[in-house]
Amino acid sequence: MTRILFTLCLLFPFLSFAQPAADVEKSVNHLLHFIARSDAIFIRNGSEYTGKQASDHLRKKYEHFKKEIKTPEDFIRLAATKSATSGKPYVIRLKGGREIPSAEWLTGILREFRGSKQL
């Protein structure tokens, strides 16, 4: 059986085990909406942005990378982790002043979103 699956993967590399596009879109839109209404400060290339500004920027990056994004994790990795221009990581400053990488913050939000869908 394993040999058959391996052969199918070689013969049909276009087969994907990714989530359906509608599920990815729903998850990414949830993340973007969460960011937009967040009171966190988004630090990109040394400048600070509101949640709304960050969401607008990440939506543009999402559209740019859309063909490559097959999962919400792809969105986080490709569009919401670092600057495509400078390579510097995006940082989130939470209300209490603590700063964390955006990928860590968004992965937690995604985990909570998925958990709430299980209920």
Question: Comparing 10 with 91, which gets the higher pLDDT?
Answer: 91
Within 13 Å of residue 21, how many CA atoms lie on the same side as its CB? 3
Element (H, E) at 84: none
Q: What is the pLDDT of residue 119?
A: 44
Q: Where are the domains of the chain?
A: 18-117
Rounded Cα gap, residues 31 and 9, in angstroms: 32
Q: What pLDDT digit, counting tens, does each position of 45-80 carry?
A: 999 999 999 999 999 999 999 999 999 999 999 999
